[in-house]
Amino acid sequence: MSIAVHMVDVFASGPLSGNPLAVITGGQALTTAQMQQLTRWFNLSETAFLLPPTQAQADYRVRIFTLDREMPFAGHPTLGSCHAWLSQHGAPRNAGHIVQECGAGLVQIRQEHGRLAFAAPPMLRFGAPTADELDAALRM
């Protein structure tokens, strides 16, 4: 297995001024545990893994990890992953309109004038937190 690591400077106004993101390509054979281990090793806020899509409407799939867990969606990895995918000669089905598959579902990304913008994915849950969820949030 050969993987590549792309360091992407997201939300940058100049070199080394944004939010760094490691984007891994070629990692289809990695297990979830190995993805988590790589993420901890990079020690960045998030690491994204570009994978082939599992849904026909998607151009690519991304799995997003923080130092301690996988996340269904996050904005900075969404934009950085899309940038890395495009720079690796990814070609969207519809020019200027990319569809990313992630844990939160399909995310629409627009490309205009060299910039990327995404539409918020559908909410995964609604309503007030449970007592256990509220307690966990307060402990953080």
Query: CB pairs under 8 A, 24+ apart, for 124-132?
Result: 124/72
Instruction: Assess contact for 116 and 109: CB atoms under 8 A.
Output: yes
- State the CATH architecture for 4-139: Roll (3.10)
Structure tokens given for 109: 């990304």
Tell me the whole-structure pTM to 2 decimals: 0.86
Distance CA 57, CA 109 (A): 13
Indicate the pLDDT class of residue 39, thresholds 50, 70 and 90.
Answer: very high
Instruction: Give residue 91's identity as a one-letter amino acid code.
Output: A
- Please give the pLDDT value at position 15: 84
Evaluate if residue 107 carries a pLDDT over 90: yes
Instruction: Give residue 53's identity as a one-letter amino acid code.
Output: P
pLDDT digits (tens, 9 = 90+) for 66-87: 999 999 999 999 999 999 999 9
Provide φ and ψ at 134, rounded to 5°. Answer: -65, -45
DSSP letter at 94?
Answer: B
Q: Where are the domains of the chain?
A: 4-139
Evaluate if residue 57 carries a pLDDT over 80: yes
- Range with lowest mean pLDDT among 1-15, 18-32, 95-109: 1-15
- Kindly name the residue from 46, 101, 112, 133 that is annotated as catalytic: 46
46 is catalytic: yes
Provide φ and ψ at 79, rounded to 5°. Answer: -70, -45
Instruction: Assess contact for 97 and 138: CB atoms under 8 A.
Output: no
- Average pLDDT value for the chain: 91
